[in-house]
Amino acid sequence: MPIKLSELAQKINCRLHGEDCLVENVADINHAGSGDLVFISNAQYKAALSSTGASAVICREEWLDNSSLPALLTEDPRLAFAKAAALLNPVIADFKGVDPTAVISREAHIDESASLDANVVIKAGAIIGANTFIGVGTVIGENVRIGERTQLNANVTVYSNCIIGNDCILRSGVVIGADGFGFVRDGNTYFKVPQLGCVRVGNDVEIGANTTIDRGALLDTLIGDGVKLDNLIQIGHNVEIGEHTVISACSSIGGTVKIGKFCLIGGNVGVRDNIQIVDNVMITARTFVTGSIEKSGSYSSSTPMDETKNWRKNTVRFRKLDEMFRRLVSLEKKLSASDDD
């Protein structure tokens, strides 16, 4: 349903510039047509304003130049556009109610406004809150508690006793509460350490596809409010992640790691067991965190890409770094000695 630009301006806190018009949806600026609302997030894209087929744009005032395109002006076009996109594309559940194939324990407590799609299985003692949606084939273990308005997509597994808050989204393939990885050597074999804690996920948390969060050994694994986890992430047992921390895909967080609030952790970062990281830390992609971080700031550890033939020459010298250092020091001494002559 189309909406007037002036009306949208109010809802997403922008200022209308130029003529009012109807917009129907959001689009990419280079693929937009009539009825589309687009955005530019950077002055370098302002040239596209003259060529786009869109009906309106969200941008900063100073990028308009002489464009006569109807515009919604804001200091943060990216945020305003995201809000416009959400308004124009309300999430509509493709399923409401309880599918007859769902297998629900009589001892589970399902709010009557919750939806359970086909082949969902809910075990005894589980509690499912109001307006929560459980997708196809998802398994909710014994005594699991899930809050309100939370969406579990298809084929998610939540092990017994875990707790998930309100307004969360768990993508397909997520596994919450599998045993942490704990073994003690016992002669010529390993003895499994019972994993007796659970996983507690706060409110407004998003967990990406095939990400795994292990249950704690004695205490619980804790995921704070507002945390966003991308796909294929591993969170070890007894990890604590502070509120509003964001972790990109394929990262792995070792056991008993404590990460602060509002951290930004890039893709494929590894954090060793037992590390502590304070609030407001940024860790760039591919970094391996080998020690605790006690000061907010940005941290890194990858090595630069090169053509293979160059890289090969340089990388073999890596094994000589210490020798090179010593030879350098020795040269310095020699030279300073000869200076003294």
Token pair for residue 71?
């515009």
Binding residue (CB under 8 A) for a copy of itself from 115, 155, 166, 221 = 155
Residue closer to a copy of itself, measured from CB, 113 or 231: 231
Sheet bearing 169-170, strands edge to edge: 115-116, 133-134, 151-152, 169-170, 206-207, 228-229, 246-247, 264-265, 281-283
> Is residue 21 a contact point for a copy of itself (CB under 8 A)?
no
> Is residue 13 a contact point for a copy of itself (CB under 8 A)?
no
Could you tell me if 81 and 99 are in contact, meaning their C-beta atoms sit under 8 angstroms apart?
Answer: no
Q: Which amino acid is at 32?
A: A
> Is residue 270 a contact point for a copy of itself (CB under 8 A)?
yes
Cβ 338 to a copy of itself shortest distance, Å: 8
In whole angstroms, what is the distance from residue 38 CA to residue 100 CA?
A: 43
Whether 237 is a known active-site residue: answer yes
Angstrom CA distances, 97 to 105, 118, 165, 203, 321, stand at: 17, 10, 21, 23, 65
Could you tell me if 22 and 5 are in contact, meaning their C-beta atoms sit under 8 angstroms apart?
Answer: yes
> Is residue 53 a contact point for a copy of itself (CB under 8 A)?
no
Instruction: Dihedral sign for Cα 237, 240, 243, 245, please.
Output: negative
Token pair for residue 216?
């704690």
Cβ 66 to a copy of itself shortest distance, Å: 26
Place of tokens 């967080």: 253
> Is residue 86 a contact point for a copy of itself (CB under 8 A)?
yes
> Is residue 299 a contact point for a copy of itself (CB under 8 A)?
yes
Binding residue (CB under 8 A) for a copy of itself from 3, 21, 48, 142 = 142
Cβ 139 to a copy of itself shortest distance, Å: 4
Angstrom CA distances, 305 to 184, 302, 310, 314, 321, stand at: 40, 9, 10, 11, 19
Cβ 146 to a copy of itself shortest distance, Å: 16
Binding residue (CB under 8 A) for a copy of itself from 1, 185, 294, 340 = 185
Binding residue (CB under 8 A) for a copy of itself from 113, 131, 231, 276 = 231
> Is residue 26 a contact point for a copy of itself (CB under 8 A)?
yes
Could you tell me if 257 and 273 are in contact, meaning their C-beta atoms sit under 8 angstroms apart?
Answer: yes
Task: State which of positions 239-258 bind a copy of itself (CB under 8 A).
Answer: 244, 246, 248-250, 252, 254
Binding residue (CB under 8 A) for a copy of itself from 74, 132, 150, 157 = 157
Binding residue (CB under 8 A) for a copy of itself from 67, 131, 160, 276 = 160
Binding residue (CB under 8 A) for a copy of itself from 3, 67, 111, 119 = 119
Catalytic positions, written as ranges:
237
